[in-house]
Structure 1
Amino acid sequence: MSTTTPVEVGLVGAGPWARAMHARMLAAGPETRLAAVWARRPDAAREVAAPYGAAVAGTPEELFDRCEAVAFAVPPAVQAELAVRAAKAGKALLLEKPLGPDLAAARAVADAVAAAGVVSQMVLTKRYHPATREFLRRAAGFETTGARSCYLHGAFLGGEFATGWRLQEGALLDLGPHLLDLLDTAIGPIVSIRGTGDPRRWVELTCEHAGGAVSQASLSGCVPLTGARTQVELFGPAGTLLYDTSGIDHEQGWPVLRAEFAAAVRAGRSGELDAARGLRLQELIEAARPS
Protein backbone atom coordinates (compact mmCIF):
# COMPACT_ATOMS: atom_id res chain seq x y z
CA MET A 1 0.00 0.00 0.00
CA SER A 2 1.45 3.39 -0.98
CA THR A 3 0.72 6.94 0.01
CA THR A 4 0.46 9.97 -2.25
CA THR A 5 3.15 11.92 -0.41
CA PRO A 6 6.03 10.08 1.27
CA VAL A 7 6.08 10.31 5.04
CA GLU A 8 9.09 12.33 6.16
CA VAL A 9 10.87 10.19 8.78
CA GLY A 10 13.71 11.21 11.06
CA LEU A 11 16.03 8.47 12.32
CA VAL A 12 17.44 8.47 15.84
CA GLY A 13 20.60 6.37 15.93
CA ALA A 14 23.59 5.56 13.75
CA GLY A 15 24.70 2.14 14.99
CA PRO A 16 24.84 -1.15 13.08
CA TRP A 17 21.07 -1.73 13.11
CA ALA A 18 20.39 1.86 12.01
CA ARG A 19 22.78 1.41 9.09
CA ALA A 20 21.82 -2.11 8.07
CA MET A 21 18.06 -1.87 8.44
CA HIS A 22 16.36 1.39 9.38
CA ALA A 23 18.12 3.81 7.03
CA ARG A 24 17.95 1.42 4.08
CA MET A 25 14.30 0.59 4.65
CA LEU A 26 13.11 4.15 5.16
CA ALA A 27 15.11 5.56 2.24
CA ALA A 28 13.90 2.87 -0.18
CA GLY A 29 10.37 4.32 -0.26
CA PRO A 30 8.15 5.15 -2.01
CA GLU A 31 5.97 5.39 1.09
CA THR A 32 8.64 7.06 3.26
CA ARG A 33 11.61 9.38 2.86
CA LEU A 34 14.59 9.46 5.20
CA ALA A 35 14.54 13.16 6.05
CA ALA A 36 17.20 13.46 8.75
CA VAL A 37 19.44 11.51 11.13
CA TRP A 38 20.45 12.37 14.68
CA ALA A 39 22.97 10.49 16.80
CA ARG A 40 25.11 11.35 19.78
CA ARG A 41 28.15 11.08 17.50
CA PRO A 42 27.71 13.59 14.62
CA ASP A 43 30.27 11.83 12.45
CA ALA A 44 28.32 8.57 12.69
CA ALA A 45 25.09 10.39 11.85
CA ARG A 46 26.74 11.86 8.74
CA GLU A 47 27.88 8.41 7.61
CA VAL A 48 24.33 7.09 7.86
CA ALA A 49 22.68 10.12 6.25
CA ALA A 50 25.08 10.74 3.36
CA PRO A 51 24.18 7.84 1.03
CA TYR A 52 20.54 8.93 1.05
CA GLY A 53 20.92 12.69 0.93
CA ALA A 54 19.37 13.06 4.38
CA ALA A 55 20.08 15.98 6.66
CA VAL A 56 22.06 15.65 9.86
CA ALA A 57 20.29 17.12 12.88
CA GLY A 58 22.27 18.76 15.65
CA THR A 59 19.75 17.94 18.37
CA PRO A 60 16.75 15.64 18.79
CA GLU A 61 14.49 18.69 18.67
CA GLU A 62 15.98 19.75 15.33
CA LEU A 63 15.27 16.25 14.05
CA PHE A 64 11.65 16.50 15.22
CA ASP A 65 11.30 19.81 13.36
CA ARG A 66 12.44 18.18 10.13
CA CYS A 67 10.05 15.23 10.11
CA GLU A 68 6.52 13.90 10.57
CA ALA A 69 7.59 10.65 12.18
CA VAL A 70 10.56 9.42 14.17
CA ALA A 71 12.18 5.98 13.89
CA PHE A 72 14.40 4.69 16.69
CA ALA A 73 17.48 2.47 16.39
CA VAL A 74 19.13 3.09 19.76
CA PRO A 75 19.46 1.26 23.10
CA PRO A 76 16.19 0.87 25.02
CA ALA A 77 17.02 3.50 27.64
CA VAL A 78 17.74 6.11 24.97
CA GLN A 79 14.60 5.20 23.02
CA ALA A 80 12.41 5.44 26.11
CA GLU A 81 13.67 8.94 26.91
CA LEU A 82 13.49 10.37 23.40
CA ALA A 83 10.25 8.64 22.40
CA VAL A 84 8.42 10.47 25.18
CA ARG A 85 9.81 13.78 23.90
CA ALA A 86 8.91 12.93 20.30
CA ALA A 87 5.36 11.96 21.26
CA LYS A 88 4.93 15.24 23.14
CA ALA A 89 6.12 16.99 19.97
CA GLY A 90 3.29 15.29 18.07
CA LYS A 91 5.41 12.90 16.03
CA ALA A 92 4.41 9.41 14.96
CA LEU A 93 6.79 6.77 16.35
CA LEU A 94 8.42 3.71 14.81
CA LEU A 95 9.70 1.93 17.90
CA GLU A 96 12.20 -0.86 18.41
CA LYS A 97 11.80 -3.69 20.85
CA PRO A 98 12.03 -3.71 23.77
CA LEU A 99 10.02 -0.57 24.33
CA GLY A 100 12.24 0.43 27.26
CA PRO A 101 15.00 -0.86 29.51
CA ASP A 102 12.46 -1.78 32.19
CA LEU A 103 8.71 -1.84 32.76
CA ALA A 104 8.48 1.68 34.22
CA ALA A 105 10.22 3.22 31.21
CA ALA A 106 8.09 1.20 28.77
CA ARG A 107 4.94 2.32 30.52
CA ALA A 108 6.08 5.96 30.31
CA VAL A 109 6.43 5.62 26.52
CA ALA A 110 3.02 3.97 26.10
CA ASP A 111 1.42 6.58 28.34
CA ALA A 112 3.02 9.43 26.37
CA VAL A 113 1.79 7.94 23.09
CA ALA A 114 -1.73 7.60 24.45
CA ALA A 115 -1.76 11.12 25.93
CA ALA A 116 -0.51 12.70 22.70
CA GLY A 117 -2.73 10.58 20.46
CA VAL A 118 0.11 9.91 18.02
CA VAL A 119 0.52 6.88 15.78
CA SER A 120 2.96 4.24 17.03
CA GLN A 121 4.26 0.99 15.57
CA MET A 122 6.69 -1.62 16.86
CA VAL A 123 9.53 -2.94 14.69
CA LEU A 124 8.86 -6.61 15.41
CA THR A 125 10.40 -7.52 12.08
CA LYS A 126 9.21 -11.11 11.93
CA ARG A 127 5.57 -10.05 12.13
CA TYR A 128 5.74 -8.35 8.73
CA HIS A 129 7.08 -11.36 6.82
CA PRO A 130 4.60 -13.29 4.64
CA ALA A 131 5.72 -16.62 6.15
CA THR A 132 4.94 -15.38 9.66
CA ARG A 133 1.54 -14.10 8.63
CA GLU A 134 0.69 -17.39 6.97
CA PHE A 135 1.72 -19.28 10.13
CA LEU A 136 -0.41 -17.02 12.34
CA ARG A 137 -3.35 -17.38 9.93
CA ARG A 138 -3.15 -21.17 10.18
CA ALA A 139 -2.55 -21.04 13.94
CA ALA A 140 -5.82 -19.12 14.39
CA GLY A 141 -7.71 -22.26 13.34
CA PHE A 142 -5.42 -24.76 15.07
CA GLU A 143 -6.36 -26.23 18.45
CA THR A 144 -3.13 -26.11 20.47
CA THR A 145 -2.50 -28.34 23.46
CA GLY A 146 1.14 -27.44 23.90
CA ALA A 147 4.03 -25.78 22.10
CA ARG A 148 7.81 -25.65 22.02
CA SER A 149 9.76 -22.72 20.65
CA CYS A 150 13.24 -21.25 20.50
CA TYR A 151 15.15 -18.19 19.41
CA LEU A 152 18.87 -18.95 19.42
CA HIS A 153 21.96 -17.39 17.90
CA GLY A 154 25.58 -16.58 18.68
CA ALA A 155 25.61 -12.82 18.09
CA PHE A 156 26.47 -12.07 21.73
CA LEU A 157 29.72 -14.03 21.38
CA GLY A 158 31.32 -11.38 19.17
CA GLY A 159 30.69 -8.81 16.47
CA GLU A 160 28.79 -5.53 16.18
CA PHE A 161 25.87 -6.62 18.35
CA ALA A 162 27.96 -8.03 21.20
CA THR A 163 27.96 -4.74 23.08
CA GLY A 164 26.17 -2.63 25.67
CA TRP A 165 22.70 -3.47 26.83
CA ARG A 166 22.50 -6.77 24.95
CA LEU A 167 25.41 -8.24 26.88
CA GLN A 168 24.19 -6.77 30.15
CA GLU A 169 20.55 -7.83 29.86
CA GLY A 170 20.88 -10.86 27.60
CA ALA A 171 18.41 -12.76 25.49
CA LEU A 172 15.26 -12.21 27.55
CA LEU A 173 15.11 -8.48 26.85
CA ASP A 174 16.50 -8.67 23.32
CA LEU A 175 15.02 -11.86 21.83
CA GLY A 176 12.13 -12.36 24.23
CA PRO A 177 9.80 -9.78 22.65
CA HIS A 178 9.88 -11.58 19.29
CA LEU A 179 9.17 -15.05 20.64
CA LEU A 180 6.64 -13.99 23.27
CA ASP A 181 4.76 -11.97 20.65
CA LEU A 182 4.52 -15.02 18.40
CA LEU A 183 3.39 -17.36 21.20
CA ASP A 184 0.89 -14.87 22.62
CA THR A 185 -0.59 -14.32 19.15
CA ALA A 186 -0.52 -17.87 17.78
CA ILE A 187 -1.80 -19.74 20.84
CA GLY A 188 -3.74 -17.14 22.79
CA PRO A 189 -3.01 -14.61 25.52
CA ILE A 190 -0.32 -15.66 27.98
CA VAL A 191 -1.91 -15.56 31.43
CA SER A 192 1.12 -16.66 33.46
CA ILE A 193 4.81 -17.00 32.76
CA ARG A 194 7.91 -18.07 34.65
CA GLY A 195 11.55 -18.16 33.69
CA THR A 196 14.61 -20.11 34.77
CA GLY A 197 18.29 -19.84 33.92
CA ASP A 198 20.61 -16.93 33.20
CA PRO A 199 19.38 -14.53 30.48
CA ARG A 200 22.99 -13.75 29.61
CA ARG A 201 23.60 -17.42 28.80
CA TRP A 202 20.37 -19.42 28.37
CA VAL A 203 16.89 -18.79 29.72
CA GLU A 204 13.88 -21.13 29.59
CA LEU A 205 10.31 -19.82 29.79
CA THR A 206 7.12 -21.71 30.57
CA CYS A 207 3.90 -19.97 29.56
CA GLU A 208 0.30 -20.81 30.35
CA HIS A 209 -2.23 -19.50 27.87
CA ALA A 210 -5.89 -18.63 28.08
CA GLY A 211 -7.69 -21.82 27.10
CA GLY A 212 -5.24 -24.09 28.91
CA ALA A 213 -2.40 -24.57 26.43
CA VAL A 214 1.17 -24.57 27.75
CA SER A 215 4.20 -23.42 25.77
CA GLN A 216 7.92 -23.41 26.37
CA ALA A 217 10.48 -20.99 24.96
CA SER A 218 14.29 -21.30 24.88
CA LEU A 219 16.30 -18.10 24.43
CA SER A 220 20.04 -17.59 24.02
CA GLY A 221 22.41 -15.32 22.16
CA CYS A 222 25.46 -17.30 23.22
CA VAL A 223 25.31 -20.52 21.21
CA PRO A 224 27.74 -20.83 18.26
CA LEU A 225 25.26 -21.52 15.47
CA THR A 226 25.97 -20.73 11.81
CA GLY A 227 22.74 -18.70 11.69
CA ALA A 228 19.89 -17.62 13.93
CA ARG A 229 17.33 -20.33 14.72
CA THR A 230 13.74 -19.28 15.36
CA GLN A 231 11.12 -22.03 15.59
CA VAL A 232 7.63 -22.36 17.00
CA GLU A 233 5.96 -25.80 16.89
CA LEU A 234 2.35 -26.19 17.96
CA PHE A 235 0.97 -29.59 19.02
CA GLY A 236 -2.70 -30.49 19.15
CA PRO A 237 -5.36 -33.08 18.27
CA ALA A 238 -4.87 -32.40 14.54
CA GLY A 239 -1.10 -32.96 14.67
CA THR A 240 1.57 -30.28 14.50
CA LEU A 241 2.05 -26.86 12.98
CA LEU A 242 5.62 -25.60 12.51
CA TYR A 243 7.04 -22.12 12.01
CA ASP A 244 10.72 -22.05 11.07
CA THR A 245 12.61 -18.98 9.85
CA SER A 246 15.69 -20.85 8.64
CA GLY A 247 14.70 -20.66 4.98
CA ILE A 248 13.30 -17.15 4.77
CA ASP A 249 14.76 -13.82 3.67
CA HIS A 250 13.99 -11.47 6.54
CA GLU A 251 14.29 -8.42 4.30
CA GLN A 252 11.08 -9.47 2.53
CA GLY A 253 9.19 -8.08 5.51
CA TRP A 254 10.76 -4.62 5.36
CA PRO A 255 8.60 -3.20 2.55
CA VAL A 256 5.49 -4.42 4.40
CA LEU A 257 6.62 -2.76 7.62
CA ARG A 258 7.38 0.49 5.81
CA ALA A 259 4.11 0.55 3.87
CA GLU A 260 1.97 -0.25 6.91
CA PHE A 261 3.68 2.41 9.02
CA ALA A 262 3.21 5.04 6.33
CA ALA A 263 -0.43 4.05 5.89
CA ALA A 264 -1.01 4.30 9.64
CA VAL A 265 0.59 7.75 9.75
CA ARG A 266 -1.55 9.00 6.86
CA ALA A 267 -4.72 7.48 8.38
CA GLY A 268 -3.87 8.74 11.87
CA ARG A 269 -4.58 5.29 13.35
CA SER A 270 -2.16 2.76 14.81
CA GLY A 271 -2.35 -0.93 13.96
CA GLU A 272 -2.24 -3.85 16.38
CA LEU A 273 1.56 -3.68 16.79
CA ASP A 274 1.51 -0.33 18.58
CA ALA A 275 3.18 0.97 21.74
CA ALA A 276 0.48 -0.69 23.84
CA ARG A 277 1.56 -4.01 22.32
CA GLY A 278 5.14 -3.18 23.19
CA LEU A 279 4.09 -2.52 26.77
CA ARG A 280 2.24 -5.85 26.90
CA LEU A 281 5.40 -7.66 25.83
CA GLN A 282 7.47 -5.75 28.39
CA GLU A 283 5.03 -6.81 31.11
CA LEU A 284 5.54 -10.44 30.10
CA ILE A 285 9.32 -10.02 30.12
CA GLU A 286 9.22 -8.49 33.59
CA ALA A 287 7.05 -11.33 34.88
CA ALA A 288 9.39 -13.89 33.31
CA ARG A 289 12.61 -12.64 34.90
CA PRO A 290 14.22 -15.54 36.80
CA SER A 291 14.21 -14.89 40.53
Structure 2
Amino acid sequence: MTTPSPAPGASAPAVPAWSGPPVEVGLIGAGPWARAMHARMLAAGPQTRLAAVWARRPAAAREVAEPYGAAVAGTPEELFERCEAVAFAVPPAVQAELAVRAARAGRALLLDKPLGPDLASARTVADAVASAGVVSQMVLTKRYHPATREFLRRAAGLEVTGARSCYLHGAFLGGESATGWRLEQGALLDLGPHLLDLLDAAVGPVTAVRATGDPRRWVELTCEHGNGAVSQASLSGTVPLPGARTRIELFGPAGELVFDTAGIDHEECWPVLRAEFAAAVRSGRAGELDAARGLRLQELIEAATAS
Protein backbone atom coordinates (compact mmCIF):
# COMPACT_ATOMS: atom_id res chain seq x y z
CA MET A 1 0.00 0.00 0.00
CA THR A 2 1.33 3.44 -0.90
CA THR A 3 0.07 6.35 1.16
CA PRO A 4 0.92 9.77 -0.31
CA SER A 5 1.26 12.95 1.65
CA PRO A 6 -1.77 15.25 1.73
CA ALA A 7 -2.23 17.81 -0.97
CA PRO A 8 -0.55 21.17 -0.30
CA GLY A 9 -2.69 23.25 2.01
CA ALA A 10 -4.72 20.30 3.31
CA SER A 11 -5.51 20.24 7.02
CA ALA A 12 -4.05 23.69 7.48
CA PRO A 13 -3.41 24.41 11.16
CA ALA A 14 -5.65 27.11 12.49
CA VAL A 15 -3.88 30.32 13.45
CA PRO A 16 -5.64 31.48 16.63
CA ALA A 17 -7.05 34.97 16.86
CA TRP A 18 -4.66 37.42 18.48
CA SER A 19 -5.62 39.89 21.15
CA GLY A 20 -3.43 42.41 22.86
CA PRO A 21 -0.36 44.27 21.65
CA PRO A 22 2.05 42.64 19.19
CA VAL A 23 5.38 41.25 20.30
CA GLU A 24 8.07 43.83 19.50
CA VAL A 25 10.77 42.02 17.51
CA GLY A 26 14.20 43.28 16.51
CA LEU A 27 15.87 41.82 13.43
CA ILE A 28 19.60 41.19 13.19
CA GLY A 29 20.69 40.98 9.57
CA ALA A 30 19.83 42.71 6.31
CA GLY A 31 20.73 40.16 3.68
CA PRO A 32 18.53 38.30 1.18
CA TRP A 33 16.81 36.08 3.78
CA ALA A 34 16.16 39.03 6.07
CA ARG A 35 14.51 40.92 3.20
CA ALA A 36 12.63 38.01 1.65
CA MET A 37 11.26 36.42 4.79
CA HIS A 38 12.03 37.78 8.24
CA ALA A 39 11.23 41.47 7.81
CA ARG A 40 7.97 41.09 5.94
CA MET A 41 6.82 38.16 8.10
CA LEU A 42 7.43 40.02 11.36
CA ALA A 43 5.91 43.23 10.02
CA ALA A 44 2.75 41.51 8.75
CA GLY A 45 1.34 41.05 12.26
CA PRO A 46 -0.91 41.11 14.11
CA GLN A 47 1.07 38.91 16.48
CA THR A 48 4.40 40.69 15.93
CA ARG A 49 5.74 44.08 14.95
CA LEU A 50 9.13 44.72 13.36
CA ALA A 51 10.54 47.20 15.88
CA ALA A 52 14.14 47.67 14.74
CA VAL A 53 16.85 46.32 12.44
CA TRP A 54 20.59 46.10 13.01
CA ALA A 55 23.20 45.07 10.49
CA ARG A 56 26.92 45.69 10.16
CA ARG A 57 26.15 47.94 7.19
CA PRO A 58 23.78 50.71 8.37
CA ALA A 59 22.65 51.44 4.82
CA ALA A 60 21.53 47.84 4.36
CA ALA A 61 19.70 47.91 7.71
CA ARG A 62 17.92 51.10 6.67
CA GLU A 63 16.84 49.54 3.38
CA VAL A 64 15.20 46.66 5.27
CA ALA A 65 13.69 48.79 8.05
CA GLU A 66 12.21 51.78 6.21
CA PRO A 67 9.39 50.02 4.27
CA TYR A 68 7.95 48.86 7.59
CA GLY A 69 8.55 51.97 9.67
CA ALA A 70 11.09 50.18 11.85
CA ALA A 71 14.00 51.89 13.57
CA VAL A 72 17.62 51.35 12.58
CA ALA A 73 19.70 50.42 15.61
CA GLY A 74 23.29 51.60 15.86
CA THR A 75 24.44 48.58 17.88
CA PRO A 76 23.05 45.17 18.82
CA GLU A 77 22.58 46.43 22.37
CA GLU A 78 20.48 49.35 21.12
CA LEU A 79 18.34 46.86 19.22
CA PHE A 80 17.90 44.77 22.39
CA GLU A 81 16.64 47.87 24.19
CA ARG A 82 13.99 48.45 21.49
CA CYS A 83 12.46 44.97 21.49
CA GLU A 84 11.14 42.00 23.45
CA ALA A 85 12.49 39.37 21.07
CA VAL A 86 15.29 39.12 18.53
CA ALA A 87 15.17 37.35 15.15
CA PHE A 88 18.38 36.33 13.38
CA ALA A 89 19.06 36.31 9.64
CA VAL A 90 22.86 36.17 9.65
CA PRO A 91 25.61 33.55 9.11
CA PRO A 92 25.89 30.89 11.85
CA ALA A 93 29.03 32.36 13.43
CA VAL A 94 27.41 35.79 13.80
CA GLN A 95 24.20 34.28 15.16
CA ALA A 96 26.10 32.22 17.74
CA GLU A 97 27.88 35.31 19.06
CA LEU A 98 24.93 37.70 19.16
CA ALA A 99 22.32 35.18 20.31
CA VAL A 100 24.27 34.68 23.54
CA ARG A 101 24.29 38.44 24.11
CA ALA A 102 20.57 38.71 23.36
CA ALA A 103 19.72 35.85 25.72
CA ARG A 104 21.76 37.43 28.49
CA ALA A 105 19.81 40.64 27.87
CA GLY A 106 16.62 38.68 28.55
CA ARG A 107 15.30 38.66 25.00
CA ALA A 108 13.40 35.79 23.38
CA LEU A 109 15.15 34.38 20.31
CA LEU A 110 13.95 33.39 16.84
CA LEU A 111 16.94 31.43 15.58
CA ASP A 112 17.97 30.25 12.15
CA LYS A 113 19.59 26.91 11.49
CA PRO A 114 22.25 25.80 12.08
CA LEU A 115 22.43 27.08 15.63
CA GLY A 116 26.15 27.80 15.22
CA PRO A 117 29.07 27.08 12.89
CA ASP A 118 30.16 24.13 15.06
CA LEU A 119 28.99 22.07 18.01
CA ALA A 120 30.85 24.08 20.64
CA SER A 121 29.25 27.37 19.60
CA ALA A 122 25.81 25.74 19.31
CA ARG A 123 26.15 24.41 22.84
CA THR A 124 27.12 27.88 24.07
CA VAL A 125 23.92 29.32 22.58
CA ALA A 126 21.72 26.57 24.01
CA ASP A 127 23.37 26.95 27.43
CA ALA A 128 22.84 30.73 27.36
CA VAL A 129 19.16 30.25 26.52
CA ALA A 130 18.71 27.75 29.35
CA SER A 131 20.63 29.87 31.84
CA ALA A 132 18.67 33.04 31.02
CA GLY A 133 15.35 31.19 30.94
CA VAL A 134 14.28 32.90 27.70
CA VAL A 135 12.00 31.52 25.00
CA SER A 136 13.68 30.27 21.84
CA GLN A 137 12.39 28.92 18.54
CA MET A 138 14.16 27.55 15.45
CA VAL A 139 13.15 28.57 11.93
CA LEU A 140 13.00 25.01 10.57
CA THR A 141 10.79 26.26 7.77
CA LYS A 142 9.07 23.09 6.58
CA ARG A 143 7.96 22.19 10.12
CA TYR A 144 5.44 25.03 9.98
CA HIS A 145 3.69 23.84 6.82
CA PRO A 146 0.39 21.97 7.25
CA ALA A 147 1.46 19.23 4.81
CA THR A 148 4.53 18.51 6.93
CA ARG A 149 2.47 18.30 10.10
CA GLU A 150 0.01 15.94 8.47
CA PHE A 151 2.90 13.74 7.29
CA LEU A 152 4.38 13.60 10.80
CA ARG A 153 0.94 12.82 12.26
CA ARG A 154 0.55 9.88 9.89
CA ALA A 155 4.14 8.73 10.46
CA ALA A 156 3.54 8.57 14.21
CA GLY A 157 1.09 5.72 13.66
CA LEU A 158 3.38 3.65 11.43
CA GLU A 159 5.92 0.94 12.12
CA VAL A 160 8.89 2.06 10.02
CA THR A 161 11.52 -0.42 8.85
CA GLY A 162 13.54 1.95 6.69
CA ALA A 163 13.47 5.31 4.97
CA ARG A 164 15.00 7.14 2.04
CA SER A 165 15.18 10.91 1.74
CA CYS A 166 16.80 13.76 -0.14
CA TYR A 167 17.19 17.52 -0.05
CA LEU A 168 18.69 18.71 -3.32
CA HIS A 169 18.99 22.01 -5.18
CA GLY A 170 21.47 24.09 -7.16
CA ALA A 171 21.42 27.30 -5.13
CA PHE A 172 25.11 27.03 -4.21
CA LEU A 173 26.05 27.27 -7.90
CA GLY A 174 25.34 31.02 -7.90
CA GLY A 175 22.96 33.71 -6.75
CA GLU A 176 22.04 35.11 -3.34
CA SER A 177 22.24 31.76 -1.52
CA ALA A 178 25.80 31.07 -2.67
CA THR A 179 27.23 32.76 0.42
CA GLY A 180 30.65 32.24 1.99
CA TRP A 181 29.74 29.88 4.80
CA ARG A 182 27.51 27.74 2.56
CA LEU A 183 30.21 27.37 -0.08
CA GLU A 184 32.80 26.54 2.59
CA GLN A 185 30.70 24.16 4.72
CA GLY A 186 28.35 22.77 2.09
CA ALA A 187 25.01 21.05 2.29
CA LEU A 188 25.49 19.12 5.54
CA LEU A 189 25.51 22.24 7.73
CA ASP A 190 22.87 24.12 5.70
CA LEU A 191 20.40 21.47 4.52
CA GLY A 192 21.27 18.77 7.02
CA PRO A 193 19.34 20.28 9.96
CA HIS A 194 16.09 20.24 7.96
CA LEU A 195 16.32 16.64 6.80
CA LEU A 196 17.76 15.23 10.04
CA ASP A 197 14.99 16.96 11.98
CA LEU A 198 12.30 15.40 9.81
CA LEU A 199 13.85 11.92 9.87
CA ASP A 200 14.31 12.08 13.63
CA ALA A 201 10.68 13.13 14.04
CA ALA A 202 9.12 10.80 11.44
CA VAL A 203 11.14 7.59 11.83
CA GLY A 204 12.23 7.83 15.48
CA PRO A 205 15.15 9.29 17.43
CA VAL A 206 18.43 9.02 15.54
CA THR A 207 21.01 7.16 17.62
CA ALA A 208 23.92 7.10 15.14
CA VAL A 209 24.74 8.79 11.84
CA ARG A 210 27.52 8.27 9.32
CA ALA A 211 28.43 10.38 6.30
CA THR A 212 30.17 9.66 3.01
CA GLY A 213 31.00 12.02 0.18
CA ASP A 214 31.88 15.72 0.02
CA PRO A 215 29.38 18.14 1.64
CA ARG A 216 30.39 20.78 -0.91
CA ARG A 217 29.25 18.50 -3.74
CA TRP A 218 27.12 15.57 -2.54
CA VAL A 219 26.95 13.92 0.87
CA GLU A 220 25.12 10.73 1.81
CA LEU A 221 23.98 10.07 5.39
CA THR A 222 23.08 6.72 6.93
CA CYS A 223 21.11 7.03 10.16
CA GLU A 224 20.32 4.36 12.75
CA HIS A 225 17.19 4.95 14.79
CA GLY A 226 16.32 3.82 18.29
CA ASN A 227 13.49 1.61 17.04
CA GLY A 228 15.85 -0.38 14.80
CA ALA A 229 14.96 1.42 11.56
CA VAL A 230 17.65 2.63 9.17
CA SER A 231 17.32 5.71 6.99
CA GLN A 232 19.38 7.35 4.28
CA ALA A 233 19.58 11.00 3.31
CA SER A 234 21.10 12.56 0.18
CA LEU A 235 22.14 16.22 0.41
CA SER A 236 23.49 18.58 -2.22
CA GLY A 237 23.31 22.26 -3.06
CA THR A 238 25.20 21.94 -6.33
CA VAL A 239 22.91 19.96 -8.63
CA PRO A 240 21.16 22.08 -11.30
CA LEU A 241 17.49 21.33 -10.77
CA PRO A 242 14.51 23.47 -11.78
CA GLY A 243 13.58 23.76 -8.09
CA ALA A 244 14.51 22.43 -4.68
CA ARG A 245 13.64 18.77 -4.16
CA THR A 246 12.78 17.51 -0.69
CA ARG A 247 11.34 14.02 -0.42
CA ILE A 248 11.02 11.42 2.34
CA GLU A 249 9.84 7.85 1.79
CA LEU A 250 8.96 5.69 4.80
CA PHE A 251 8.69 1.92 4.38
CA GLY A 252 7.23 -0.65 6.74
CA PRO A 253 4.79 -3.57 7.07
CA ALA A 254 1.83 -1.33 6.23
CA GLY A 255 3.40 -0.06 3.02
CA GLU A 256 4.88 3.29 2.05
CA LEU A 257 4.28 6.83 3.24
CA VAL A 258 5.67 9.62 1.06
CA PHE A 259 6.31 13.27 1.85
CA ASP A 260 7.26 15.49 -1.08
CA THR A 261 7.46 19.27 -1.01
CA ALA A 262 7.06 19.67 -4.76
CA GLY A 263 4.35 22.24 -5.29
CA ILE A 264 3.89 23.31 -1.68
CA ASP A 265 3.72 27.03 -1.04
CA HIS A 266 6.18 28.08 1.65
CA GLU A 267 4.14 31.24 2.17
CA GLU A 268 1.80 29.05 4.22
CA CYS A 269 4.58 28.54 6.77
CA TRP A 270 5.07 32.16 7.82
CA PRO A 271 1.73 32.91 9.53
CA VAL A 272 2.05 29.71 11.56
CA LEU A 273 5.66 30.42 12.52
CA ARG A 274 4.84 34.01 13.51
CA ALA A 275 1.79 33.06 15.55
CA GLU A 276 3.52 30.23 17.39
CA PHE A 277 6.58 32.30 18.20
CA ALA A 278 4.48 35.18 19.50
CA ALA A 279 2.37 32.81 21.60
CA ALA A 280 5.51 31.25 23.05
CA VAL A 281 6.93 34.68 23.94
CA ARG A 282 3.71 35.78 25.62
CA SER A 283 3.30 32.51 27.54
CA GLY A 284 6.97 32.18 28.41
CA ARG A 285 6.92 28.54 27.21
CA ALA A 286 8.92 27.41 24.20
CA GLY A 287 7.67 24.68 21.88
CA GLU A 288 9.53 21.57 20.74
CA LEU A 289 11.52 23.46 18.07
CA ASP A 290 13.63 25.39 20.56
CA ALA A 291 17.38 25.92 20.96
CA ALA A 292 17.70 22.51 22.61
CA ARG A 293 16.31 21.00 19.39
CA GLY A 294 18.82 23.03 17.40
CA LEU A 295 21.61 21.67 19.61
CA ARG A 296 20.47 18.09 19.07
CA LEU A 297 20.55 18.57 15.30
CA GLN A 298 24.04 20.07 15.59
CA GLU A 299 25.15 17.03 17.60
CA LEU A 300 23.95 14.77 14.78
CA ILE A 301 25.80 16.87 12.21
CA GLU A 302 28.95 16.68 14.33
CA ALA A 303 28.60 12.90 14.56
CA ALA A 304 28.22 12.68 10.78
CA THR A 305 31.27 14.90 10.25
CA ALA A 306 33.37 12.77 12.59
CA SER A 307 32.39 9.48 10.96
TM-score w.r.t. the length of structure 2 is 0.94
Give the Cα separation in 1 of the matches to 2:257 and 2:120: 36
Report how many aligned residue pairs link the two structures: 291
Q: Would you identify which runs of 4 or more consecutive aligned residues in structure 1 move more than 6 Å?
A: none
Alignment partner of 1:152 is 2:168: yes
Aligned-pair distance for 1:260?
Answer: 0.1
Percent identity for Structure 1 against Structure 2: 85
Q: Give the corresponding residue for 1:164.
A: 180
Q: Is the 8 A contact 1:68 1:92 kept in 2?
A: yes
* Structure 1 residue identity aligned to 2:145: H
- Choose from 253, 275, 286 the match for 1:259: 275
5+ residue gaps, structure 1, are: none
Q: Give the corresponding residue for 1:83.
A: 99
5+ residue gaps, structure 2, are: 1-15
- Choose from 230, 235, 247 the match for 2:251: 235
Aligned-pair distance for 1:178?
Answer: 0.2
Query: SS at 1:30's partner residue?
Result: coil
- Choose from 48, 53, 65 the match for 2:81: 65
Q: Give the corresponding residue for 1:14.
A: 30
Give the Cα separation in 1 of the matches to 2:295 and 2:179: 24
Give the Cα separation in 1 of the matches to 2:270 and 2:247: 20
* Structure 1 residue identity aligned to 2:230: V
* Structure 2 residue identity aligned to 1:195: A
Q: Give the corresponding residue for 2:288.
A: 272
Q: Is the 8 A contact 1:193 1:287 kept in 2?
A: yes
1:1-291 equivalences in 2 (<5 Å): 1=16, 2-289=18-305
Give the Cα separation in 2 of the matches to 1:25 and 1:282: 26
Give the Cα separation in 2 of the matches to 1:3 and 1:228: 37
Aligned-pair distance for 1:3?
Answer: 4.2
Alpha-carbon RMSD across the aligned residues, in angstroms, is: 0.7
Give the Cα separation in 1 of the matches to 2:22 and 2:157: 37
Q: Is the 8 A contact 1:27 1:34 kept in 2?
A: yes
Aligned-pair distance for 1:290?
Answer: 5.9
Q: Is the 8 A contact 1:12 1:37 kept in 2?
A: yes
Query: SS at 1:289's partner residue?
Result: helix
Give the Cα separation in 2 of the matches to 1:213 and 1:244: 20
Q: Is the 8 A contact 1:139 1:241 kept in 2?
A: yes
* Structure 2 residue identity aligned to 1:140: A
TM-score w.r.t. the length of structure 1 is 0.99
